[in-house]
Amino acid sequence: MTYLLIDNSNTRTKFVLSTPDALLPERYMIPTREVSEERLDEVLAGVHYDAAVVCSVVPRVGEVLKNWIGKPCHFLSCDSRLGVGIDYPHPRQIGADRLANAVGAAAYYGCPCVVVDFGTAVTFDVIGPQCTYLGGVIAPGLASMGDYLERNTALLPAIDPQEPAHAIGTSTVEAMQSGAVYGYRGLVKEILARLEEELGTRPAVVATGGDAALIARGVERIDHVDPDITLNGLRIAAVLNL
């Protein structure tokens, strides 16, 4: 049985093949704003799979995928079999990628755990000691630290966030790098401290998403960096639901 796992998030839509037990090397990515049936035909031409599982947080693309996938397909939602419970007043509001993160993190890192997903938004998802999804935090993604300044000022350029040489920037770009990376690490540290305080017990903290490695390098409270946690959550959900 070969699954096509699809993580349709706001910046990138990722496609990975897997068996029930493990991700396979075949990986594809389409920038989410470029997803169309034609582009899917092009990028995934000849890719063989028996069934698909999707976590989508972009309804337009979810519809394109629904029409394009010609095999048995499961769209992850709060109604799916997840292997974790949901103890949350508005389960239908939870992004499917956040649910996939909860499935993967609980399976790989145990409960309680917190998943920090550095994407278009940064999300913090809290899975409690009873392996139930409790909720979390949504904040602007790292890219917003640069994009906002470039769009709203006359003299600040776009930056590609990188490890600052020092905190005291000695050029405009260095000052922006320091603001983005140290500022963002501060945001993550403060939120993790508050979550742990409220949880009342020490969770495993796992970071994922495009910016995880850069930010986690300066946040010692992050125990693991795992780029595949969302996809392994989808793999586990495929086994449970297809």
Ligand X SMILES: CC(C)(COP(=O)(O)O)[C@@H](O)C(=O)NCCC(=O)O
Active site residue ranges: 97
Contact partner at residue 241 from ligand X, ligand ADP, K ion, none, CB < 5 to 8 Å by partner kind? none
Binding site annotation covers 228? no
Q: Per CB under 6 A, which region of 13-21, 75-83, 115-123, 184-192 contacts ligand X?
A: 115-123
Task: Select the residue whose beta carbon is closest to K ion and give its number.
Answer: 119
Helix (H) or strand (E) run with residue 68 in it: helix 59-68
Token pair listed for 50: 């028996």
Q: Of these partners, K ion, ligand X, ligand ADP, none, which one is at the site of residue 77 (CB under 5 to 8 Å by kind)?
A: none
**What is the DSSP-derived secondary structure letter of residue 93?**
G
List Cβ neighbours of 125 (8 Å cut-off, separation of 6 or more): 98, 101, 102, 105, 114, 115, 117, 133, 135, 136
**Radius of gyration in angstroms for the set of CA atoms belonging to the chain, rounded to a whole number:** 19
Q: Which stretch binds ligand ADP (CB under 6 A): 6-14, 37-45, 108-116, 177-185?
A: 6-14
Residues 64-123 that bind K ion (CB under 5 A): 97, 117, 119
Other CB atoms within 10 Å distance of the CB of residue 183: 12
Which residues of the shown chain bind ligand ADP in the complex (CB under 6 A)? 9-12, 119-120, 141-143, 209-211
| Annotated binding residues for K(+) | 117
